[in-house]
């Protein structure tokens, strides 16, 4: 079968060579007869590493989505999981979960090993979460022991969302079997189911060293999802607020630019107004005409001549010389000519 082909010839030798898994307590796994292997769940690769270290075949339930995919990838995935003996499980609860338990019961009644993750889903943060009572009901109905097993380091080798695992050494630690024979016939008692499940989870906590959280992993994931959605909505709200603020600032800047443009147009129109230019030209002409007025110029000339004659009189009185007078008169004559 494909199970033994992958384990012994194809996938198994490669995984052993790369990840060199160490194992403790393998002697607690019975060599024959049905038993439940109850494991913590840290990584997608748990279902590959756990069968790798056991000489007996172990069947795991796999979520329904692995068997219902479409396209080439979906068909290949479904063929792989069916080929290695995995059975589909609907995790929606109710009758769907009961159908998965019935499939597991058939495996156990054939005297085989059935692997189950009591948490119901992978741990969202590496901690150990409250177990679902399906593992206890299955053990009581089949009358088989529950072997707790802790996967060590698989979450670091292949965290959620990572496709290709990181090459590193991982560990697998088996614990002593949980005997449920003392509760035979009490599979309908919810208190018994919870007590057996809690006993299994306590063993897993001791084997793995994980912190225990008294909450279902699925509930925790839902809360984390809702919190992530709330953060995303807050981010979208803030983005919209920033967008609105930016739009308002842009509108204000456009309005201011329009006002400046109008002011510039008014100024340009004022400077280029022909009437205004004519007014300025007339003012310049009048000033130029005033400066070039002959009467004004004659007035300035008479003032200059009077100053020259006064200077001549003063010079004559000082010198008392006709020659000097002649010189002064000559100078005045030249001044008049000038």
User: pLDDT tens, 292-320?
Assistant: 666 766 776 677 677 777 777 776 666 55
Predicted confidence (pLDDT) per residue in 13-63, tens digit:
888 899 999 999 999 999 999 999 999 999 988 988 998 899 999 998 877
pLDDT (average), residues 90-94: 62
Residue 165 clears pLDDT 50, i.e. is over it: yes
pLDDT for the residue 42 = 96
Q: What is the largest CA-CA distance in the chain?
A: 165
Predicted confidence (pLDDT) per residue in 251-299, tens digit:
888 888 888 888 877 777 766 666 766 676 677 666 666 666 667 667 7
pLDDT for the residue 13 = 86
Predicted confidence (pLDDT) per residue in 207-237, tens digit:
999 999 999 999 999 999 999 999 999 999 9
In angstroms, the Cα distances linking 326 to 178, 330, 331, 337, 338 are 152, 6, 8, 16, 18
pLDDT for the residue 320 = 54
C-alpha torsion angle, residues 197, 198, 200, 203 (rounded to 10): 180
Quote the tokens at residue 148. 């707790």
CA–CA distance, 286 with 281 (Å, rounded to integer): 9
Instruction: Give residue 335's pLDDT band: very low, low, confident or very high (50, 70, 90).
Output: very low
Residue 93 clears pLDDT 70, i.e. is over it: no
pLDDT for the residue 333 = 47
pLDDT for the residue 160 = 87
Tell me what the pLDDT averaged over the chain comes to: 84
């Amino acid at each position: 079968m494909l199970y033994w082909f992958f384990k012994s010839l194809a996938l198994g030798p490669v995984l052993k060579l790369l990840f060199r898994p160490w194992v403790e307590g393998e002697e607690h796994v019975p060599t024959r007869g049905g038993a439940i292997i109850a494991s913590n769940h840290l990584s997608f690769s748990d279902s590959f590493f756990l069968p790798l270290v056991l000489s007996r075949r172990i069947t795991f339930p796999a979520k329904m989505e692995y068997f219902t995919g479409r396209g080439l990838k979906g068909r290949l995935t479904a063929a792989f999981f069916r080929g290695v003996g995995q059975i589909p499980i609907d995790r929606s609860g109710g009758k769907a979960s009961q159908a998965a338990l019935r499939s597991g019961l058939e495996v156990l009644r054939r005297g085989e090993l059935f692997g189950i993750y009591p948490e119901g889903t992978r741990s969202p943060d590496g901690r150990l979460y409250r177990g679902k009572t399906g593992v206890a009901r299955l053990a009581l109905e089949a009358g088989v022991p529950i072997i707790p097993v802790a996967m060590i380091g698989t979450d670091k080798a292949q965290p959620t969302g990572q496709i290709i695992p990181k090459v590193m050494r991982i560990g697998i630690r088996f614990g002593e079997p949980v005997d449920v024979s003392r509760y035979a016939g009490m599979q309908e008692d919810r208190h018994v189911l919870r007590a057996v499940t809690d006993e299994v989870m306590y063993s897993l906590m001791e084997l793995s060293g994980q912190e225990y959280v008294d909450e279902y992993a699925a509930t925790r994931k839902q809360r984390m999802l809702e919190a992530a959605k709330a953060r995303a909505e807050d981010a979208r709200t803030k983005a919209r607020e920033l967008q609105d603020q930016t739009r308002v600032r842009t509108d204000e800047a456009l309005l201011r630019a329009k006002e400046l443009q109008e002011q510039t147009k008014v100024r340009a129109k004022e400077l280029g107004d022909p009437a205004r230019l004519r007014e300025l030209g007339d003012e310049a002409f009048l000033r130029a005409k005033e400066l070039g007025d002959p009467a004004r110029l004659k007035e300035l000339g008479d003032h200059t001549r009077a100053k020259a004659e006064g200077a001549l009189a003063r010079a004559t009185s000082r010198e008392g010389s006709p020659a000097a007078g002649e010189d002064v008169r000559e100078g005045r004559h030249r001044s008049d000519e000038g």
